[in-house]
Structure 1
Amino acid sequence: MKGRTIILDQIEGSQAAALMVDGKLDDFLIDGDRPRPGTIYRARADRPVKGQGGMFVTTPDGPAFLRQVKGLAPGAQLLVQVTGFAEPGKALPITDRILFKSRYAIVTPDAPGLNISRSIRDEDERDRLLEIAHEQMEDSSYGLILRSCCSGADIVDIEEDISAMRALAEQILNDSGTEPETLCEGDGPHILAWRDWTDPAEVITEPGGFEAQGVLDALDTALGIAEPLPGGGYLFIEATRALVAVDVNTGKDSSLAAGTKANFACAKQLARALRVRGLGGQITLDLAPMPKKDRRGFEQVLRAALKADSVETTLAGWTPLGHYELQRKRGRIPLAEVLK
């Protein structure tokens, strides 16, 4: 099946969304029982962590950890936003730099100025969007970013989006409460799919869509450790408490270039495989044998694939043993923890 298809459905009572590209599962979102990223709290500073420059804070959903704190005294009230999912037994990761993000607009209270996505290069289109931004953000001290999907979008849709995000920001930032409280829930999978999967696609909302479109079969593969690669190789992906280990296997290919081919296939497929499985943190790649002269090409292919990925990933580089390491944001719930 060619093309892009977005399927909105449920699994075991949990809201979920799947993105199929040319018949293959490209992304998957599912709700869990943890606070969603994007949730905004009125919180209370609890205790500083000496040597780390951070502060534990109290939220309605338990303790959270705020990094790089200066001038914040225990007992102070502050607004914070969840930035990712915490590992079991650890505090929620949060920030005090609140963002209000939707499909077309991101309101940035701590970063004044009107900005257009760099991917929009047509000067006439940029001028059109700047005019919309000036009209909607007039007399506001907040900043605004218009996202790439604004290009060619209907002016009314963009204006309504900006207006909604500005109103939400004003409501939250003018809050006058004094006790820890949840002020705004993060977006669920269906809203996230509308917000972030903006390329043209067929949208299926009928119950049973996952089964009819092959999503359930793709999830069975993702729940296992083996991920097939083009050319007959495999990735074996196993999450441990400390890191995610990825082993590249050449399969039945015994040619001299088998290792290089499998590693380059890994570079192209790795982001999708991790994204669907919801895996983040430290990633260690145990690559198949290949000449050192091919390492630069491997990094270039990997960097290009990650550039198009929605999850922030840092390339750490090669280890003395020849492994390759990455650091990936924990922006998803691991699939194996939700679909046990």
Structure 2
Amino acid sequence: MKGRTILLDHLQGRETAVLMVDGALDDILIETDQPAPGTIYRARAERPVKGQGGMFLATPDGRAFLRQVKGLSAGSTLLVQVTGYAEPGKAMPVTQRLLFKSRYAIVTPDAPGLNISRVIRDEEERDRLLEVAHDVFDAEPFGLILRSACAGADVEEIAEDITAMSGLARQIMDDAEGEVERLLDGDGPHLLAWRDWSEPADIVTDAGCLEDHGALEAIDAARSHRVALSGGASFFVEPTRALVAVDVNTGPDTSMAAGLKANLATAKALPRALRVRGLGGQITLDLAPMPKKDRRAFEAALRAAFRSDPTETALVGWTPLGHYELQRKRARLPLAEVIR
């Protein structure tokens, strides 16, 4: 099946959104029991953690941890936003730099100014979007980012989105005083799919559509550690408590270029493999043997593969043992923890 299909359904009683590209599972969002990234709290500072340069905060949903707390004293109230999911036994990661995201606009209360996504390069389109933004946002004290989905979008829809997000930002920012409270829930999977999967796609909302479109089999395959590559090569993605280990195998290919071919194929497939499994943190690649002169080609392939991945990932580099390391934001809970 060619093209992009977005499936909005429920899996094991949890709201679920699945993106299929050319019949393959490209992304999956599943509702969890933890506060979703984007949730905003009025929190209370409890105690600093000097060794970690941060402070624990009290929220209605448990402890949160905030870095860079210069000038903040115990007992103070402040607005914070959840940035990711907590590791087992750890506090929720939060930030004071609030973002109000929608399909077309991101309002940034702490960063004034008007910006347009660099993906939009056409000058006429950028001028059109600037005109819309100035018409509806000039009186606001906040910053505004127009997202790539604005390209070619209806003017009224963009204006409505900007107005809604700026109004929400004003409401939250004016509500900083009081007891600890959850002020805004993070977006659920269906809303996130509408917000972030903005490229043209067929959208299916029928109950049972995950099964009807083969998504359940694809999700079950994503729960396996093994990822098959062309020519019989493969790699294994195995999370441990400390890191995610990726082991590359050449399979039956015994040619001189087998290692390089398997490594390049791994670079191309790795972002999707990590994304659908919900894996982040420190990632160590144990690559197939290849000459050192081929490392640049592998690095270029890896950069190209992660360029379009929505999750922030730092390509750290080579270790003395010849492994390659990445550092990836924990934007989701592991798939294996969400569904059983």
TM-score by length of 1: 0.99
117-126 vs 291-300, which moves further: 117-126
Structure 1 window deviating more from structure 2 (117-126 vs 316-325): it is: 117-126
1:24 aligns with 2:17: no
Q: Which amino acid aligns with 1:87?
A: E
Partner of 1:280: 280
The corresponding residue for 2:186 is: 186
Question: Partner residue of 2:260?
Answer: 260
Deviates more, 1:246-255 or 1:270-279: 246-255
Query: How far apart are the structure 2 equivalents of 1:155 and 1:226?
Result: 46
Q: Determine the structure 1 residue equivalent to 2:249.
A: 249
The C-alpha deviation readout for 1:303-322, integer Å capped at 9, x for no partner, is 11101001000011001111
Q: SS in structure 2 opposite 1:302?
A: helix
Q: Which residue of 2 aligns with 1:111?
A: 111
Aligned twin of 1:47: 47
Partner of 1:67: 67
Q: Which runs of 5+ in 1 are unaligned?
A: none
What pairs up with 1:128-277 in 2 under 5 angstroms? 128-175=128-175, 177-277=177-277
- After superposition, the C-alpha distances for 1:57-99 in whole angstroms (9 at most, x for unaligned) are 1111111110111100000000000000001100100000000
1:71-110 equivalences under 5 Å are: 71-110=71-110
Q: CA deviation at 1:290?
A: 0.6
Give the whole-Å Cα distance in 2 for the aligned partners of 1:234 and 1:182: 45
Once the two structures are TM-superposed, the CA of residue 282 in structure 1 deviates from its matched residue by: 0.3
AA partner of residue 137 (structure 2): M
Q: Measure, in 1, the Cα distance between the counterparts of 2:96 and 2:188.
A: 21
- The percent of aligned pairs where both chains have the same amino acid is 69
- Letter of the structure 2 residue corresponding to residue 90 of structure 1: K
Q: Please state if 1:14 is matched with 2:14.
A: yes
TM-aligned CA deviation for residue 235 of structure 1? 1.2
Shift of 1:231: 2.5
Q: Which amino acid aligns with 2:240?
A: T
Shift of 1:177: 4.1
Question: In 1, are the aligned partners of 2:150 and 2:158 still within 8 Å (CA)?
Answer: yes
- State the one-letter code of the partner of 2:251: G
Gaps of 5+ in 2: none
Q: CA deviation at 1:118?
A: 1.1
Please report how far the alpha carbon of residue 120 of structure 1 lies from its aligned counterpart in structure 2 after TM superposition.
1.0
SS of residue in 2 equivalent to 1:248:
strand
CA contact (8 A) 2:78 2:176 kept: no
Question: 1:245 corresponds to which letter in structure 2?
Answer: A
Give me the CA root mean square deviation: 0.8
Partners of 1:52 and 1:281 in 2: CA distance: 18
Amino acid at match of 1:180: V
Q: Which stretches of structure 1, 4 residues or longer, exceed 3 Å deviation after superposition?
A: none
Shift of 1:136: 1.2
Please give the alpha-carbon distance, in whole angstroms, between the structure 1 residues aligned to 2:279 and 2:70: 32
CA contact (8 A) 2:77 2:177 kept: no
Counterpart position of 1:124: 124
2: distance between equivalents of 1:176 and 1:84? Answer: 22
SS of the counterpart of 1:144? strand
Name the SS of the counterpart of 2:232 in structure 1.
coil
Moved more, 174-183 or 260-269: 174-183
Q: Which moved more, 1:283-292 or 1:223-232?
A: 223-232
Report the Cα distance in structure 1 between the residues aligned to 2:56 and 2:229, rounded to whole angstroms: 43
1:264-311 C-alpha deviation (Å, 9 max, x unpaired) = 000000000000000000000000001111101100110111010010
Q: CA deviation at 1:51?
A: 3.0
Classify the secondary structure of the residue corresponding to 2:231. Answer: coil
Q: Structure 2: how far apart are the matches of 1:130 and 1:177?
A: 34
The separation in 1 between residues aligned to 2:20 and 2:176, in whole angstroms, is 44
Match of 2:289 in 1: 289
Distance in 1, matches of 2:132 and 2:210, equals: 39
The equivalent residue for 1:35 is: 35
